[in-house]
Amino acid sequence: MTIDRCRPAWNPYLATCPTRQVLDCVADKWTVLVLGLLRSGPWRFGQLRKGIEGLSQKMLTQTLRALERDGIVRREVFACSPPKVEYSLTPLGQSLAATLDALRLWAERHMDEVMRHRDLYDEAAAQQGPALAKLIWAPP
Q: Comparing 16-25, 113-122, 127-136, which segment has the lowest mean pLDDT?
A: 127-136
Instruction: Give the span between the Cα atoms of 74 and 72, in whole angstroms.
Output: 7
Q: What is the DSSP pairing of strand 43-44 with strand 84-89?
A: antiparallel
Note if the pTM is more than 0.85: no
**Other CB atoms within 10 Å distance of the CB of residue 96:** 22
pLDDT of residue 131: 61
Q: For residue range 72-86, what is the model confidence (pLDDT) as tens digits?
A: 999 999 988 888 999
Which of 112, 118, 114, 44 lies closest to 83, judged by CA? 44
How far is CA 83 from each of CA 34, 48, 86, 100, 134, rounded to the nearest angstrom? 22, 17, 10, 31, 57
Percent of the chain with pLDDT over 90: 57
